[in-house]
Amino acid sequence: MKFRRVAQRWLATGVLAIAAIVVAAPALATKQTAKHTPPVTKTSTVPDEYIVKAIGSKSAPITMEVFSDYQCPSCGSLYEQTLKPLISDYVASGKVYLVHHDFPLPLHKYGYEAARWVNAAAVAGKYPEVEAALYDNQAAWSADGNIQKYVAAAMSPVDFRRVAKMMEACPPPAAGVTPASYSQAGKPAHGCPFDASIEKDKALGNTVPVSATPTFRFYYKGKTYGPMSGVVSWPIMKQFLDQVMSQ
């Protein structure tokens, strides 16, 4: 008798819960999507105007967008543990197109300056090399601010002279001036040609919204996955990428 009552109660609960999930799921899913889709994801990929620093083939099935600060330790960990194997494996084999966006945080003294150097290097076609050099030596230049040393080591003297020439228009931060005060409302407060690109990336990041670095998201077949923040190990990210591509 007792068993029968218990079984009836389980059955009723199960049926009710499944019915509620089946009825509510599609409606909730649609509502959630509409609420969280930022304007830029309407294109279901990264608009060209935002692609300044990217690695891989644009025709790769998956696009991964990463918002990071070169001085942020977690961004360094993500790069060293996850993005390096991603670049040598899935980016090299044409499965993933990796797009970087600058999101220098005011609390990092040299983050903005590092982003300028990387943008200058990107103009000279040396973005992947300089990005790797800055993350590999993050602790060193974060301590003394000597970013130039590692940028120079990542390219030929001829290329470095070209990059250094471009950087002449970008004065180093004056004493007491934090990187956040370089520009107002997206307009560069001086003649550094790379600040507009950095500010554009930051504005894009704010629409995601990026609240911490690193933040990343993925695009596949018109669908957007993410954003997510933090450091994820390569085996786990690889599993996600394989799963997405198997759909």
Partner 1 sequence: MAATPRSQTGRILLLIGRIALASIFLVAAYGKLKPQAPGPWSVGSMKTSLSMFAMQVDSFQLLSSSSADLVAHTLPFFELFLGLWVLSGIVLRLSSLVSTLLLGGFFATLIRTYLMGLEINCGCFGPGERLGPKRLALESLMLVLSLGVTIGAFIMARRKSAPAESTTSAVGLEQAR
Binding site for partner 1 (CB under 8 A): 6, 9-10, 13-14, 17, 20-21, 25-26, 28-30, 32-33, 36, 74, 211-213, 220, 223-233, 235-237, 239-240, 243-244, 246-247
Nearer to partner 1, 5 or 187 (CB): 5
CA 141 to CA 147: how far, in whole Å?
5
Nearer to partner 1, 99 or 208 (CB): 208
Smallest gap, in angstroms, from Cβ of residue 208 to partner 1? 10
Q: Which of 224, 168, 181, 214 is nearest to 38 (CA)?
A: 224
Nearer to partner 1, 59 or 246 (CB): 246
Smallest gap, in angstroms, from Cβ of residue 212 to partner 1? 3
* Burial group, residue 173, by CB count within 10 angstroms (0-12, 13-18, 19+): middle
Nearer to partner 1, 101 or 126 (CB): 101
Smallest gap, in angstroms, from Cβ of residue 43 to partner 1? 14
- Sign (positive or negative) of CA dihedral 42, 44, 49, 50: positive
CA 119 to CA 116: how far, in whole Å?
5
Nearer to partner 1, 104 or 128 (CB): 104
54: enclosing H helix or E strand: strand 53-55
- CA 7 vs. chain centroid, Å, equals 51
- Sign (positive or negative) of CA dihedral 152, 100, 111, 196: positive
Smallest gap, in angstroms, from Cβ of residue 7 to partner 1? 10
Nearer to partner 1, 6 or 177 (CB): 6
Q: Which residues pair with 215 in a beta bridge?
A: 67, 229
Smallest gap, in angstroms, from Cβ of residue 240 to partner 1? 4
Smallest gap, in angstroms, from Cβ of residue 121 to partner 1? 27
